[in-house]
C-alpha cells in the first residue's frame, strides 16, 4: 500500500462521519489524463475530494508546503492572517510541530508543487508534466479559496494548459467541472456535504478566432458549468 492509499484510507474514515451526497463520479475515467476543476472553499476540500474520488488525484499545491522551513513560515503567516497577530505564539508552536509532517506527506502523496507568484511558466510546466504522465490533476480555477455562496472569476491558466498540450500533440485533455458544497461546515451537526461532477469539456469544442479568444471562451464555459452545478435555481448565468 503506497502513501496515497494510506492517506486516502485515513481520510475516508473521517469523511464518512459526515452526511455526504455525491453525483457524477461516473464521468471520471479510470485511467488516462484529466483535470478536475472544482470551486474551492477551504483546505478541507482536498481531504473531501481525496476520500470520494476512486482514483488517485494529484493535487496542485503551493511550493512552500513541500519544504519544511518554507512550510513553517507559510503556516505561521497563514494563521496570523486568518486569526490576527495575537495568535503568533501558538501559531509558531503549531507550525513547528506540523510543518515537518505536512511537507513530508504532501510529497509522499504525489502532489504537484507550483508557485502562485513568479513565472507562471513554472506552474504550467509542472501541471503539464503530470498530465503527460496520464495523471488526474486537480486544479482550483479560482486560483485560491473563494467565498461561500459565490463563484469568483476563473484564471485562464487551466485553459492555457489544455490548449498548449493539444497543440503539442498530446490530444484532448478532458476537464471535469465540479461543485463542492458544505466543507466550510465540516463537523457541524445536521449538515450535508456534497460533491457534484459534470460531463467533461474539451478545448477543441471552444476554438475561436485567436488564441486569447479561445482561452477566454473556454474559461467562461468552464465557469458557467461549475456555477450551474453549484446554483441550480434556474437563474441566468453571467460570467463576472
Q: What is the pLDDT of residues 69-100, one digit of tens each?
A: 877 787 878 788 878 888 888 888 887 887 77
Q: Provide the pLDDT for residue 127.
A: 87
Mean local confidence (pLDDT), 209-236:
88
In a domain, 125, yes or no: no
Cell of 83: 486569526
In a domain, 148, yes or no: no
pTM, two decimal places: 0.85
Answer with the residue of higher pLDDT: 234 or 131: 131
The CA radius of gyration of the chain, in Å to the nearest whole number, is 18
> How many domains is the chain partitioned into structurally?
1
The dihedral built from the CA positions of residue 76, 39, 3 and 192, taken in this order, carries a sign that is: positive
In a domain, 207, yes or no: yes
Q: Provide the pLDDT for residue 119.
A: 47
Using the predicted structure, report yes or no on whether residue 234 has a pLDDT greater than 70: no
Using the predicted structure, report yes or no on whether residue 14 has a pLDDT greater than 70: yes
Find the domain containing 194 and state its range. Answer: 14-56+131-141+154-230
pLDDT band at 197 (very low <50, low <70, confident <90, very high): very high
In a domain, 72, yes or no: no
C-beta atoms surrounding 81 within 10 Å: 11
Helix boundaries (H) for 64-171: 68-83, 88-108, 120-132, 157-167
Q: Provide the pLDDT for residue 162.
A: 95
pLDDT band at 136 (very low <50, low <70, confident <90, very high): very high
Amino acid at each position: 500500500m503506497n502513501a496515497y492509499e494510506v492517506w486516502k484510507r485515513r481520510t475516508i474514515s473521517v469523511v464518512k462521519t459526515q452526511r455526504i451526497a455525491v453525483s457524477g463520479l461516473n464521468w471520471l475515467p479510470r485511467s488516462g489524463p484529466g483535470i478536475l476543476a472544482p470551486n474551492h472553499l477551504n483546505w478541507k476540500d482536498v481531504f473531501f475530494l481525496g476520500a470520494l474520488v476512486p482514483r488517485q488525484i494529484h493535487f496542485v499545491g503551493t511550493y512552500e508546503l513541500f519544504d519544511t522551513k518554507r512550510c513553517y513560515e507559510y503556516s505561521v503567516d497563514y494563521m496570523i492572517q486568518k486569526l490576527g497577530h495575537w495568535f503568533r505564539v501558538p501559531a509558531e508552536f503549531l507550525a513547528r510541530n506540523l510543518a515537518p509532517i505536512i511537507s513530508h506527506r504532501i510529497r509522499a502523496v504525489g502532489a504537484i508543487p507550483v508557485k502562485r507568484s513568479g513565472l507562471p511558466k513554472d506552474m504550467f510546466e509542472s501541471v503539464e508534466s503530470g498530465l503527460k504522465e496520464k495523471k488526474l490533476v486537480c486544479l482550483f480555477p479560482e486560483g485560491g479559496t473563494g467565498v461561500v455562496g459565490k463563484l469568483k472569476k476563473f484564471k485562464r491558466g487551466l485553459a492555457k494548459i489544455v490548449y498548449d498540450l493539444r497543440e503539442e500533440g498530446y490530444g484532448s485533455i478532458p476537464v471535469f467541472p465540479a461543485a463542492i458544497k458544505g466543507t466550510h461546515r465540516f463537523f457541524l451537526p445536521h449538515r450535508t456535504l456534497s460533491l457534484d461532477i459534470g460531463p467533461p469539456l474539451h478545448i477543441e469544442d471552444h476554438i475561436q478566432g485567436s488564441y486569447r479568444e479561445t482561452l477566454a471562451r473556454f474559461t467562461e464555459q468552464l465557469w458557467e458549468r461549475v456555477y450551474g452545478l453549484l446554483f441550480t435555481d434556474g437563474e441566468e448565468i453571467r460570467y463576472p
